[in-house]
Structure 1
Amino acid sequence: MLLGKKRKLGRQIGEITTGETLTLTEKIEDKDLLLYLGLTDDANPLYIQHNYASLTPYKKPVVPAIMLTGIICSAVSKYLPGPGSYILEQNLAFLKPIFHYTMVEYQFEVKEVDQDQNIIIIELVALNEQKEQVIKGSLTVQPPCQIECKDGDALDNF
């Protein structure tokens, strides 16, 4: 279904199958961290101060977990199932710190499709450049709902 300005909704429950996968690779750069810190006013020195971080067990600044969660949520909104999706629940474990400029590979897999409840369960594993697991978890997601428009331009401002 096209909405207004050629934006397409993600896939609905009947179009998703167990076993589907999505792999994304992302890297957090200083500009991304500065945008996050400016938006949230989070001045945790562990995120930005090299001198402080060098005195911790991490030895260098780490990426905030909420930024990593944002990448995960964005993947659901953009790709699996896509625009119009809603995350009902998330359970994430951050197993190892992720440092600035680390390339992270996010692997998503649909583990369950419940058509009656209109939800899917997605498992996630994220690996760093050394192929070590840095994040694992699951998401309960509601794919986009079928929208019946009586007026063809009702969603033009979307």
Structure 2
Amino acid sequence: MIQKGIKLGKKVDELSTGERLHLIEKIEDKDLLLYLGLTNDSNPLYIQHDYAAETPYKKPIVPVIMLNGIITSAISKHIPGPGSRIIEQSLMYTEPVYHYETINIVLEVQHINISQNIVDIHVYATNEEEQSVLEGIIKVMPPV
């Protein structure tokens, strides 16, 4: 059902190269528990402190699909916004993200192809120590 009053996101000709969105996200237990409940992912590295202590990570890490969810949600809500569709993504996870960490995420319009209605959005994120935790490109079709 389409709700009245919901405005479509920006069309391809309304975006500009260099346009940015900055997000700050803190990863909480409730987020992890929701993910685990929805996906039935039972990897002990994500939630069991005793297990994670025996790994090179030393403590539980955040599943990368949760990070993807934060990014795709930002694309759907803000840049380009409602009505947009991700058609391709290439993301590299350079460092693990740990429970309770705050991450800074930047989405930046890198390239606009008006004739094909495709926008390349460069995504990068850093942790509290300003280390890169992810970087990549997401190709998006803005609403028409």
Could you say which residue in structure 1 is the equivalent of 2:63? Answer: 64
Could you say which residue in structure 2 is the equivalent of 1:136? Answer: 135
How far has the Cα of 1:8 moved from its partner? 1.0
Partner SS for 1:25: strand
How far has the Cα of 1:5 moved from its partner? 2.3
How far has the Cα of 1:42 moved from its partner? 0.3
Moved >3 Å (runs of 4+): none
Could you say which residue in structure 2 is the equivalent of 1:34? Answer: 33
The TM-score with structure 1 as length reference comes to: 0.89
Aligned length: 143
Could you say which residue in structure 1 is the equivalent of 2:81? Answer: 82
**Structure of greater Rg:** 1
Correspondence 1:116 to 2:126: no
In the alignment, the residues of structure 2 paired with residue 119 and residue 109 of structure 1 have an alpha-carbon distance, to the nearest angstrom, of 14
Partner SS for 1:62: coil
In the alignment, the residues of structure 2 paired with residue 25 and residue 134 of structure 1 have an alpha-carbon distance, to the nearest angstrom, of 13
In the alignment, the residues of structure 1 paired with residue 3 and residue 92 of structure 2 have an alpha-carbon distance, to the nearest angstrom, of 38
How far has the Cα of 1:4 moved from its partner? 4.0
In the alignment, the residues of structure 1 paired with residue 86 and residue 26 of structure 2 have an alpha-carbon distance, to the nearest angstrom, of 23
The one-character-per-residue Cα deviations of 1:84-125 (angstroms, maximum 9, x if unpaired) are 000000000000000011000001111101000000001011
Once superposed, what is the RMSD of the aligned Cα atoms? Answer: 0.8
Letter in 2 for 1:79: H
In the alignment, the residues of structure 2 paired with residue 140 and residue 134 of structure 1 have an alpha-carbon distance, to the nearest angstrom, of 20
Q: Which runs of 5+ in 1 are unaligned?
A: 146-158
The TM-score with structure 2 as length reference comes to: 0.97
Partner SS for 2:89: strand
Could you say which residue in structure 2 is the equivalent of 1:14? Answer: 13
Sequence identity percentage: 55
Q: Which runs of 5+ in 2 are unaligned?
A: none
Partner SS for 2:143: coil
Q: What does residue range 139-150 of structure 1 map to in structure 2 within 5 Å?
A: 139-145=138-144
